[in-house]
Amino acid sequence: MNNVRTKKRANKKSLPFFIGDAFKVCFVIITISAILLIQTFSFDIVPPILNRGIQPATFPKALLVLIIVLTSVIYYLSTKKPWKLEKKLPKAFFITLFNFVLFVVVSKYIDFFLAISILSIFVSYYWGERRVLYLLLVSIIFPIIVFIFFETILGLRFPGGIITNLYYY
């Protein structure tokens, strides 16, 4: 029993501090905040005659310092009471995330409607849908309904692209 306990403690101690989730999360927040804080120093400064109260950069600066301080406190508290271990992210998550990137690329360079269709069919397929009729429903029929609805009711004009141009012209 004692051996098991010692082993567990040894394992815990042998983990470098930067492996834990708390460190990674706090590090990312502090790094981004620090970069933004540096950027605030490049904001234009208003001459005293036009300055009302405080400079435009002061408020964001104060917020970023607050975020950095509070995040440091979060990290300090996590050393006292470690965060619970999160499960590893499954493949489906990364596929969905990749589909978001694909959506951005396709909607920017090819076609907005096509981007929605591609994302819908890929996500639905990778999440386990194999029936062709249902795949067609989510990737073509439903987006068409949504498109027409937004176009007619809200008078929305979607960005041009291979398919959207065919619809408009």
Partner 1 sequence: MENLSLMMAPLFSSKLLLVLFFGTLFGLVLGVLPGLGPTTGGALILPFTMTLDPLSAVVLLTSIYCAGTYGGAITAILINTPGTPAAAATCLDGYPLAQKGEAGRALGMATVSSVAGGIFSVIVLVFFAPFLAKLAYEFGQPEYFALAIFGLTMLASIGDGSPIKNLVAGAFGILISTVGKDFMTSIDRFTYGINELSVGIGFIPVVVGLFAISEMLTQSTLLDQVFKRVALKAVKLPSLLDYKLTWKTILRSSGIGSFIGVLPAEGGTVASLIGYSEAKRWSKKPEDFGKGSIEGIAGAEAANNAATGGAMVPTLALGIPGSATTAVILTGLIIHGVRPGPDLFREQPEFLYGIFGSMLIANIMFFVLGFFGAKIFARITLVPNKLLWPMIFAVSVCGTYSLSQSLLDVWIMLSFGVIGFFMRRYGFSVVPVIIGLILGELVEGTLRQSLVIFDGNWFMFLTRPIALTFFILSLIALAFPLLRKKNK
Provide φ and ψ at 22, rounded to 5°: -60, -45
Type of residue at 78? S
User: What is the secondary structure of 120-159 as a DSSP string?
Assistant: HHHHHHHTT---HHHHHIIIIIHHHHHHHHHHHHS---PP
- Looking at the Cβ atoms of 8 and 108, the one nearer to partner 1 is 108
Binding characters for partner 1, 69-88, by CB under 8 A (x = yes): -xx-xx--x-----x--xx-
Q: Is 116 exposed, middle or buried (0-12, 13-18, 19+ CB in 10 A)?
A: buried
- Nearest Cα to Cα of residue 76 among 124, 22, 115: 22
Q: Are 64 and 33 in contact (CB under 8 A)?
A: yes
- Looking at the Cβ atoms of 62 and 166, the one nearer to partner 1 is 62
Q: C-beta of 69: minimal distance to partner 1 in Å?
A: 10
Binding to partner 1 (CB under 8 A) within 4-63 occurs at: 21, 25, 29, 36, 39-40, 43-44, 46, 50-54, 56-57, 59-60, 63
Q: Does 98 bind partner 1 (CB under 8 A)?
A: no
**Which positions lie near partner 1, rule CB under 8 A?**
21, 25, 29, 36, 39-40, 43-44, 46, 50-54, 56-57, 59-60, 63-64, 66-67, 70-71, 73-74, 77, 83, 86-87, 89-90, 92-93, 95-97, 100, 103-104, 107-108, 112, 116, 119-121, 123-124, 127-129, 134, 137-139, 142-143, 146-147, 150, 153-154, 156-159
